[in-house]
Amino acid sequence: MDIKQVLEQALQEGYLTPKMEAEVGKICDVASELSAEEYLALDHLMEALLNGEVVVVSRKQFINVMEELVLSEAITRVAEIQATSDRSLDVGELTAYALNRLPPLYATTEEGANYQRQRATQELQELISQQVNQAIAHHLDQPDFFPERQALRSNSGNELIKQISALLQSYAPHYESTSTQQ
């Protein structure tokens, strides 16, 4: 979707969703320079927002209390392990592994978050510890297959194409030469 399409949809529906806002932001971040048409569409969108013709849909504020509980447990365990050994553990990987095996505990208010924390402490702390320990065991059992792995980040189109090309080249180094001979 381009900026003009976002503008048209926003004008038609009367609101700008977080997804539409993110799309405009992504376009602006990736483009080295916007076209005159894109600048006009952005200007028109800003005008529509300022005069109330388009309303921004507010983002629902919520948190997953389980994330903070698991992260805290993972940090504690990693600190203990790294103090007694030379092993390096990625807290993010451990947290994601454990979170994928635990129920989410979402809250939209501070009172709700406090309730979820209390509930988790009483009912789920053992399960949280168990899953973090399982994540650590899983991580320690894994050989270092891909030491060149990189953390998630925003890639430009060219970087992504280069990464895919390198991946394909490593898995099928003779593909080009065999496909042209057939």
pTM higher than 0.75 for the full model?
no
- Min mean pLDDT across 10-19, 24-33, 44-53, 139-148 is at 139-148
Strands 15-16 and 55-56: parallel
Tell me: the pLDDT tens digits for 41-76?
888 988 988 888 988 887 768 889 999 999 999 999
Choice between 118 and 38, residue whose per-residue pLDDT is larger:
118
Domain boundaries of the chain, sorted by first residue: 3-56, 63-141
Residue 119's contacts (CB-CB under 8 Å, 6 or more residues apart) are 105
Which bin fits 52, alpha (ψ -120 to 50), beta or left (φ > 0)? left
CA distances from 46 to 16, 19, 75, 121 (A): 11, 17, 44, 47
pLDDT at res. 66: 95
Residue 107 bridge partners (DSSP)? 63
Q: How many residues does the chain have?
A: 182
- Of 134, 124, 125, 121, the closest CA to residue 95 belongs to 134
